[in-house]
Amino acid sequence: MSDLARILKKGLMASVICAPLAMATNASAEQRPFGLGDIATAEQVAGWDIDVRPDGLGAPIGTGNAFDGEEVYADRCASCHGDFGEAVDNWPVLVGGEGTLASHDPVKTTGSYWPYASTMYDYIYRAMPFGEAQSLTHDETYQIVAYLLYMNDIIDDEFEVNQDNIGTIEMPNRDGFMLPDPRPDAQPISGLACMKDCDVPTNVIGRARDIDVTPEEES
């Protein structure tokens, strides 16, 4: 039900944007350039179209708050990410890190780094829990998103995250990204590569051998 509703919403937005072109749809195979493939039904698309965009497009109907999310998180997430998002072993840290991005040891978490709450929904639903992809209900996913937002001091514990506001939640690092790509960068001032008697440092200041973290070859 909710999947279909979501797809109808997507389709509605598409048709509003491009109403003049809507008549060209669903040409039969013979009328297409190569005549390959089958028309995808709304039901087929609904089953696979799971992405959620920053503007909330694609967000399935559902709701969740941090209070309920704590239990879901403890059950489905904490074994890798820690009870408070602090992470176990090498698994990703999910909470904290504010003010560290310009430091020598930046901590990139959903709170300190992720620019959109929609990405949390999109990723958690499609890929988490690790090894149990697409097994959470929509409500459970909203609950986990809400719990992480709450733990990062972005919402309070009663705030209901749902399909209508997932695209409007303001993330702290929303403006932390730069576009477009400024490369190519780091080029020689002359534009040309020096070939002879170049002024470069040639003292050995570090050896990987001394760091000693390279795996040994198996015998």
Restricted to residues 136-175, the positions that interact with other proteins (CB under 8 A) are none
Which residue in the set 9, 32, 60, 149 belongs to the binding site for other proteins (CB under 8 A)?
Answer: 32
Name the minimum Å distance from CB 150 to other proteins: 19
Residue 16 sits in the site that holds other proteins (CB under 8 A): no
The answer to whether the CB of 170 falls within 8 A of the CB of 115 is: no
- Record the tokens describing residue 148, joined without a space: 């992480």
Q: Strand pairing of 63-64 and 161-162?
A: antiparallel
Residue 114 sits in the site that holds other proteins (CB under 8 A): yes
Please name which of 80, 86, 140, 75 lies closest in space to residue 109, comparing C-alpha atoms: 86
53: CB partners within 8 A, 6+ apart: 118, 167
Residues 77-96 that bind other proteins (CB under 8 A): 80, 89-91
- Record the tokens describing residue 92, joined without a space: 């990703």
131: CB partners within 8 A, 6+ apart: none
Residue 209 sits in the site that holds other proteins (CB under 8 A): yes
Residues 37-76 that bind other proteins (CB under 8 A): 37-40, 44-45, 48-51, 53-55, 57
Name the minimum Å distance from CB 180 to other proteins: 7
For other proteins, which stretch binds (CB under 8 A), given 62-70, 127-135, 140-148, 150-158? Answer: 127-135
Residue 19 sits in the site that holds other proteins (CB under 8 A): no
